[in-house]
Amino acid sequence: MKEVFRQTGRSLANLQWILRPSLLVLAFYQLSRIGFMLRNPATVEGMQPEDVPGFLFYALRFDLSLFFSLFGIFLLLLVLPFRQKNLRRFIRYAFTIVFTFGFLPELIDIFFFSFNGRRLDFPALKFLLNDALGQFPQLLSNFPLVPLLAIILPFLVWKSFPGRQPDAKTAIHLAWMHSILPALLVIACSAALIRNSTGQKPLLPGNAFVLHPQQTGHAALNSGFVMLKTLEAKELEEARFVSEESVRLLLAQDSIESGYPAFIGKNVVLLVLESFATEYTGLEKGGAAQTPFFDSLARAGTYFPNHFASGRTSRDALPAILASVPAWMDESFAGSSYVSTRIEGLGSTLMRNGYETAFFHGGKNGTMSFDLISRLCGFSGYYGLDEYPDKGDYDGNWGIFDRPFLQFSANRLNKMKQPFAACIFTLSSHQPYTLPPGWKDTTGTGGNPVFRAIRYSDDALRHFFSAASRMPWYQNTLFVLSADHTHQNFSPQFANHSGQFDVPLVFFFPGKKIVADSSRFIQHTDVRRIILEMLGSKPRLENHLSSELNAVSGLLPMQYQDGFYHIIHPDGTLSWDAKTAGSGWNWISAEGRGEPPGLKMQMMARLQYFRNGLRENKLFVAH
């Protein structure tokens, strides 16, 4: 065993040869970040001087992930039994070349960021290179530092390698069997630092935006890291269906004066209930009536029967509900290259107005990128499986059973400073519908596993409100309840496009009935804006894909599914493949009614605003 460790030490000692250039590369990453901050001061506006060391230390995560992605192979080669003299000559050349091309996006972005407003990703780089070839002379004259540094920095990396080659005695390295352990150590360390996360998901560009202020995430990122993470990203096609003036006019909304002064400054608790389709409630004709407590809240509060989800997955729901970002592309927003787009979520607006914010989900931390999206939307606290004290309540699949986790959430809310804003996301009504062994199903009949899980979550909701009603903040809190998406259809009434997205929306305030036009057709993307409208909080940035309750003419629900866009109208559903403005349309009428005028223009304008807004980082604009 002693010999194994001795030989392992000898093998790992070869890494000393590459230590100096490696540290120099990491130093260049940090220096370029400082240059980025100086060139783009808006990205660090609000950061205090004492926060800078901690910020740079956090940003090192992205540098290390990139470094080991690009250079980890060279570390591995050095501990394998190759002839060192020839190997080191090869590594010196290859290391310098890889650094040159890997660092170039960082240099470009110091200057290019001011035009694009977000870090350079792979689709944007392809566009930039195609466009820049004809502009090379003027780019060279206007940004001479980029080519100059692109020559000087690789030269310094090349010179940083030790010049002395190994002598003949060490020219032949150890036997292969003695290299297995050091190779495994290098592979394990490289993999851990590339992943750079203890959660379910590896480190992603969006993780930079958990920082506060949020815009400092741009400075924390490394453009090379973003490039690697977006190599296979799909770029949205530029949309030019209608004129920009038409987009502006079609999406402009006039609002009457807010009618909710009684709710200004109140707490808000947003409950997103897993798979709570309208079909499972007893609120509509043909419904399965599996949610007696939820139904009682709907009747005591304000229920919106014409409310529709943004998509069919939980990952679609959160960006739509918390930031009015719809699920109108093949990738989820959290998994796309556009996750660094400037947004202003519900929590961000309320935090600026003095609210304490927190997000609760009993699942494994990192699942479905909930931790990332909630932070992007301004929810500074996160409570998941890791924060829950009693792992005996774990369901063995997704996370903590709803009933104990909702009790935990209520108790945490009791410790928050008022006013507060919290989003609580349930999970027990998700497949495989695991329920606590001791739970007694006393509220329904039938062994359908979906219905049993829905009844359990409804019962957990009842216990949550029972506990909350005894807490001092309860009477001062606006409760908003909806579902993330629908699930299986069992009733013919809901076996159509609108039924696949039909989820309830309830606003409930203890002891006070909220007066609103509940007959309007609304969707997930409207929820954030309606809450802010009721609380009297104005965002600094707003997108034009959501409507207030007091809007004179609101936007109709619109979804993307299986390559088609759909808009839901009281008279039917309009579908479109979005390939050309003049074709690919299909109107499915309700009771033989004709297609209302203006629907096609509204759909084209909204999709054009969405696509181009993400591409150009203009989805949210000054309010």
| The pLDDT value given to residue 128 | 65
- 3-state secondary structure string, 155-196? HHHHHHCCCCCCCHHHCCCCCHHHHHHHHHHHHHHHHHHHHC
Distance CA(159)–CA(31), nearest Å, equals: 19
Q: In the numeric block, which tokens belong to residue 255?
A: 């609002």
pLDDT digits (tens, 9 = 90+) for 489-546: 888 888 888 999 999 999 999 998 888 889 999 999 999 999 999 999 999 999 999 9
Question: Contact 175/8 with Cβ under 8 angstroms?
Answer: no
The bridge status of strand 541-542 relative to strand 420-425 is unpaired
The bridge status of strand 572-576 relative to strand 564-569 is antiparallel
Q: For residue 457, how far is the Cα from the chain centroid? A: 26
3-state secondary structure of 357: strand
Q: In the numeric block, which tokens belong to residue 618?
A: 């203009």
Indicate the DSSP class of residue 543: -
Question: Contact 246/454 with Cβ under 8 angstroms?
Answer: no
Tell me which amino acid residue 222 is.
N
Please list the rounded mean pLDDT of every run of 10 residues in the chain (623 residues). 58 84 97 93 86 93 96 91 81 96 91 78 70 62 85 95 61 58 88 86 83 83 90 84 90 68 92 96 90 96 96 93 95 86 94 97 92 94 96 93 98 98 96 89 76 95 98 98 92 88 97 88 95 92 87 84 91 92 89 89 95 93 82
Distance CA(539)–CA(80), nearest Å, equals: 57
Query: Which of 408, 409, 360 minimizes the C-alpha distance to 380?
Result: 360
Domains of the chain with bracketed CATH: 2-229 (no CATH), 268-548 (3.40.720.10)
Q: For residue 488, how far is the Cα from the chain centroid? A: 26
Q: Is the pTM of this model over 0.85?
A: no
Q: For residue 183, how far is the Cα from the chain centroid? A: 36
Query: Which of 540, 468, 518, 432 minimizes the C-alpha distance to 530?
Result: 518
- 3-state secondary structure string, 423-478? EEECCCCCCCCCCCCCCCCCCCCCCCHHHHHHHHHHHHHHHHHHHHCCCCCHHHEE
pLDDT digits (tens, 9 = 90+) for 434-470: 999 888 887 766 678 999 999 999 999 999 999 999 9
